[in-house]
Structure 1
């Protein structure tokens, strides 16, 4: 049974595994002070065209979000996120567990935040009797597979600056976003638009690892202390450094993401040809087709995927996720199953 449940079912790209094996017996400093991690950080800075950013390697998305957000906020501060945002629905209250409330915005089917939606939250929290909104959280891609345009990020950036809000981008699937046909952002744009973002490796070919990029000077001080306190400072920091060095030494990071998107596009085209629609337009490696419940019963016997949202009594929106390792023959088999049902 082939899985379209997520983009981290497989281990890691062979190039990364080979690099880990080849460097395995080399003695290195710990806690991210090894020369692989230092070199990877410099390489990322070069790719972004910014030598002044601070880069820290952590192991996973939730760990990165809770470590960073709790480090940047004072005790009475809160984060603002889409109601579908990862920190609100898929992190077991990790941000709240650090003492910071997550204030939500009803962001619609695409899961995007807008200045107008954020303004409503600010208006509802006017004084010291409530938490103070201080950080705006978005993810690119969103939880619903949408991609932010450069203009949308610029508008959010301007709004955050005008309202003294930190602007934070979750980049767990940033590779998919930046290689999407709907995208017009470059990696080098992000340090100029957001205060903090991270580049996700776990969901794009690495065994594990996220590269947190702190662009705002005011947020850089003592961050390694916060990492250590939250259990986010890996003793064998070389493991993440080596992986990001391999991902960005050439074009591997973007090649892997482009493959995931291409496989999702092929599935989407097959679903469209079969006459089925989508909950949100398919533009990334997460797609959300609306399928008859009778068809789902058959598909679940051949493929693993999530039933996402009930649309009506007879139809359900499902989530299909492709990855750097998705096999084209598995995509073809899924599309063929749809065609077979239509012709019956």
Structure 2
């Protein structure tokens, strides 16, 4: 069975497991007050060229999203996001459960927001009887694998601030965004042109974990208490610190993401060569072929994947393949051959 369901179906990279195992019987302080978290924070600040940034570790992306948003917003404020954004479609109303309205904006196949789309979306919310847009949420990579350029991010940052909003970037797949062909963003760019972003570990070689980076000028009072209240604090916090220290030492994080991208791009090109069309030609580790419905039962017998939705072409479906740090070239070759044998 070829595994292309998602990028967190496998445990962790061996070096990450080794780092966790090395801590096993040390007897460390809890809740992130340990040397491994301290070292990981220092690494992140150095990589971001942001020595005063506030760094917090979370178990997963949903916790990072809802707690950051709840911490940054006042009770009457809402969050603007792409309609396809993770907080709008795949977090079971977690942000709304904090009391903050999600304001979804229709976007194109790449999943990206633009200042023009944001400006149009917030016009109806200027009346004092309406929820006030207080935060702009974006993802890099987006839910369909699109990536933001440095210029695009800076424009969104300026747009958000000109409308008295924070800019928060969901980095669950940040590694794949930063190593994708055509990317010109860096971690220091993210530290300059967002108010908050996180470095995703769960989908890039960690057992679990995300590292939130808050710009020096952004202060969230009582953030640890908010994390605790919302179930976002891991008692054995060193398990997160040790993983990020391993991932961010000697470029392992980017090496794993680059491999995932290369496997997805090899698969995408191989399918294109067979005449398969795509919902969106992603440069990252998620690709979205359009396949005949009659082919789906055959594919399901040989491959784990996700149904994305109906295609515009009758009797066709958009599906999603996702590669990871653990994807083997032989799996890509085998899946291409499966398509070729059923043309």
**Per-residue deviation, 1:220:** 3.6
Moved over 6 A (4+): none
**Per-residue deviation, 1:22:** 1.6
Task: Indicate the residue corresponding to 1:13 in structure 2.
Answer: 13
What SS does structure 2 have at the residue aligned with 1:217? coil
CA distance in 2, matches of 1:73, 1:175: 27
Q: Deviations over 1:151-171 (max 9, x none)?
A: 111110111121111000000
**Per-residue deviation, 1:114:** 0.8
CA distance in 2, matches of 1:233, 1:141: 26
Which runs of structure 2 are paired with 1:190-209 in the superposition (5 Å)?
190-209=190-209
Task: Indicate the residue corresponding to 2:122 in structure 1.
Answer: 122
Task: Indicate the residue corresponding to 1:131 in structure 2.
Answer: 131
Task: Indicate the residue corresponding to 1:169 in structure 2.
Answer: 169
Task: Indicate the residue corresponding to 2:277 in structure 1.
Answer: 277
Task: Indicate the residue corresponding to 2:52 in structure 1.
Answer: 52
What SS does structure 1 have at the residue aligned with 2:330? helix
Q: Deviations over 1:101-134 (max 9, x none)?
A: 0001101211111111111122111122110001
Which runs of structure 2 are paired with 1:27-66 in the superposition (5 Å)?
27-66=27-66
What count of residue pairs does the alignment treat as equivalent? 342
Q: Deviations over 1:192-212 (max 9, x none)?
A: 000000000000000000000
Task: Indicate the residue corresponding to 1:150 in structure 2.
Answer: 150
Q: Deviations over 1:58-98 (max 9, x none)?
A: 10000110111011111100000000000000000000001
What SS does structure 2 have at the residue aligned with 1:325? coil
What SS does structure 1 have at the residue aligned with 2:29? coil
Task: Indicate the residue corresponding to 1:255 in structure 2.
Answer: 255
Task: Indicate the residue corresponding to 1:213 in structure 2.
Answer: 213
What SS does structure 1 have at the residue aligned with 2:341? helix
Task: Indicate the residue corresponding to 2:108 in structure 1.
Answer: 108
CA distance in 1, matches of 2:233, 2:283: 35
**Per-residue deviation, 1:139:** 0.3
**Per-residue deviation, 1:296:** 2.2
What SS does structure 1 have at the residue aligned with 2:181? coil
Answer whether contact 2:160 2:166 (CA < 8 A) is retained: yes
Task: Indicate the residue corresponding to 1:330 in structure 2.
Answer: 331
Structure 2 alignment gaps of length 5 or more: none
CA distance in 1, matches of 2:27, 2:307: 47
**Per-residue deviation, 1:221:** 3.1
CA distance in 2, matches of 1:169, 1:218: 14
Task: Indicate the residue corresponding to 2:293 in structure 1.
Answer: 293
**Per-residue deviation, 1:216:** 4.8
CA distance in 2, matches of 1:49, 1:131: 36
Deviates more, 1:27-36 or 1:94-103: 27-36
Task: Indicate the residue corresponding to 1:315 in structure 2.
Answer: 316
Answer whether contact 1:54 1:220 (CA < 8 A) is retained: no
What is the root-mean-square deviation of aligned Cα atoms in Å? 1.0
The two structures have a TM-score, normalised by structure 2, of 0.98
Answer whether contact 1:34 1:238 (CA < 8 A) is retained: yes
What SS does structure 2 have at the residue aligned with 1:219? coil
Answer whether contact 1:263 1:326 (CA < 8 A) is retained: yes
CA distance in 1, matches of 2:220, 2:246: 26
CA distance in 1, matches of 2:220, 2:35: 21
CA distance in 2, matches of 1:227, 1:216: 19
What SS does structure 2 have at the residue aligned with 1:180? coil
